[in-house]
């Protein structure tokens, strides 16, 4: 085993990290600017391996997904001159220790489909294959997605087969989630035009700043008209989101649409339950094969306190798993799929605004 010191990267490591990246990879390299960014942020997840001769022999970069219990091994490299000395295993162990110390439940990574050496290392360390990303690398090679549970493996590891859809605009999170449900329950192929049409049917027109998002009853009505069974749960009876705007004309528009959605739900036989949708209700819906769309506050994800629709992709004893249709900074789409949120944290996330609005749309085939 190669005797090295493992520590967070320092500003003095920048040149060596950049040179190491050039030696290790022919493509898909991290830029000097990227290394500089993580060093400037004092990110302890950028871990370097230094030899007794003070040479940089390798590094691992672990990113933490805000508001979740998920970590991602973004990159790992070992100097070609140092290979064969189990340095990769030491870096992997350090990466897992860092993620564990940060109370992450999962560490995820991507690996080239043809990198048999790395795949063997990951599988030896207990990583499980859970996804494939076609045409992921610059040379069009596919990536395999692996993950490892860093704490315990619960007995109930239910996960719905729910395709992920990325929203195409800042205001179509609800329609993107509904497209996921339509793909899962009806086999529909997601389409940007359909996403925008869904938004036109379900929108409140105004909300906070810019275009409005979607009303839960509006989403339920749009789902019913496309052949899905839909039920709405909401802990408030009055007009929703009206406090998110100050202009009285905008408040009137939001109120008018709310009354329209209530009336239409009654006409089309869509049940609206004016009570909280509890964690037990969510577990029962998942067990019954339902797709649940939940409104959350993004405060614990990005600090913006915005209303945001997500789709529930699975559950276990400790976490709910979400499909988030909106990748954030430093994220790739795969980072937004089956994201583990502890039950305690999820209870906090699904309260929006001063009125602590809690609402969900339960969909079936």
Q: Which domains does the chain have, with CATH numbers?
A: 4-149 (3.40.630.30), 173-364 (3.90.70.10)
- Which candidate, 106, 100, 109, places its Cα nearest to that of 131? 109
- Which candidate, 215, 185, 34, places its Cα nearest to that of 198? 215
| Separation CA 178–CA 200 (nearest Å) | 13
What's the Cα-to-Cα distance from 344 to each of 22, 69, 209, 287, 354, rounded to whole Å?
A: 43, 12, 29, 20, 19
Checking if the pLDDT of 69 tops 90, the result is no
Q: Looking only at Cα atoms, what is the longest distance across the chain?
A: 77
198, 277 contact by CB (below 8 A): no
- Which candidate, 85, 142, 89, places its Cα nearest to that of 115? 142
pLDDT tens track for 333-346? 878 888 889 899 99
What's the Cα-to-Cα distance from 19 to each of 44, 166, 175, 328, rounded to whole Å?
A: 20, 35, 45, 29
| Separation CA 279–CA 172 (nearest Å) | 25
Structure tokens at 325: 């249709």
Residue whose structure tokens are 């900074």: 329
47, 63 contact by CB (below 8 A): no
Give the mean pLDDT of 299-309: 81
Residue 348's pLDDT band, with cuts at 50, 70 and 90, is very high
pLDDT tens track for 14-68? 999 999 999 999 889 999 999 999 999 999 999 999 998 889 999 999 999 888 8
Structure tokens at 38: 């993580």
**Does the CA dihedral 139-112-163-279 come out positive or negative?**
negative
| Separation CA 11–CA 36 (nearest Å) | 8
Mean pLDDT lowest for which of 124-128, 168-172, 206-210?
206-210
What's the Cα-to-Cα distance from 277 to each of 2, 62, 66, 272, 274, rounded to whole Å?
A: 54, 35, 25, 11, 9
Give the mean pLDDT of 323-327: 94
What pTM was estimated for this model as a whole?
A: 0.74
H, E, C per residue of 343-357: HHHHHHHCCECCCCE
List all residues 6 or more positions away from 353 whose beta carbon is below 8 Å from its beta carbon.
241, 243, 244, 297, 307
- Which candidate, 281, 271, 274, places its Cα nearest to that of 346? 281
């Amino acid at each position: 085993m190669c005797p090295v010191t493992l520590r967070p990267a320092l500003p003095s490591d920048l040149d060596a990290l950049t040179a190491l990246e050039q030696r290790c990879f022919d493509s898909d390299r991290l830029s000097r600017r990227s290394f500089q960014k993580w060093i400037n942020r004092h990110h302890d997840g950028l871990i370097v391996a230094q030899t007794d001769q003070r040479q940089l022999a390798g590094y691992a970069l672990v990113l933490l997904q805000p508001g979740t219990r998920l970590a991602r091994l973004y990159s790992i490299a070992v100097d070609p001159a140092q290979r064969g000395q189990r340095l990769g295993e030491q870096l992997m162990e350090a990466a897992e220790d860092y993620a564990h110390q940060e109370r992450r439940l999962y560490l995820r990574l991507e690996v080239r489909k043809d990198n048999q050496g790395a795949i063997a290392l990951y599988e030896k360390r207990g990583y499980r294959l859970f996804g494939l990303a076609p045409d992921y690398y610059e040379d069009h090679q596919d990536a395999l997605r692996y993950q490892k549970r860093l704490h315990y493996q619960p007995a109930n590891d239910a996960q719905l087969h729910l395709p992920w859809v990325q929203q195409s605009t800042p205001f179509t999170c609800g329609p993107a989630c509904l497209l996921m449900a339509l793909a899962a329950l009806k086999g529909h192929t997601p389409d940007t035009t359909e996403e925008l049409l869904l938004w036109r049917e379900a929108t409140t027109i105004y909300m906070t700043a810019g275009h409005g998002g979607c009303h839960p009853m509006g989403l339920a009505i749009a789902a019913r008209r496309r052949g899905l069974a839909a039920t709405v749960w909401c802990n408030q009876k009055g007009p929703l989101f009206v406090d998110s705007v100050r202009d009285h004309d905008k408040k009137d528009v939001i109120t008018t649409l709310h009354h329209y959605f209530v009336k239409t739900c009654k006409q089309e036989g869509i049940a609206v339950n004016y009570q909280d949708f509890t964690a037990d209700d969510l577990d029962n819906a998942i067990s019954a094969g339902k797709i649940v769309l939940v409104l959350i506050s993004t405060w614990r994800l990005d600090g913006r306190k915005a209303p945001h629709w997500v789709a529930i992709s699975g559950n276990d004893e400790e976490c709910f798993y979400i499909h988030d249709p909106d990748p954030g900074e430093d994220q790739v789409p795969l980072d937004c799929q089956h994201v583990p949120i502890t039950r305690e944290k999820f209870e906090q996330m699904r309260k929006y605004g001063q009125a602590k609005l809690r609402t969900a749309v339960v969909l079936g085939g």
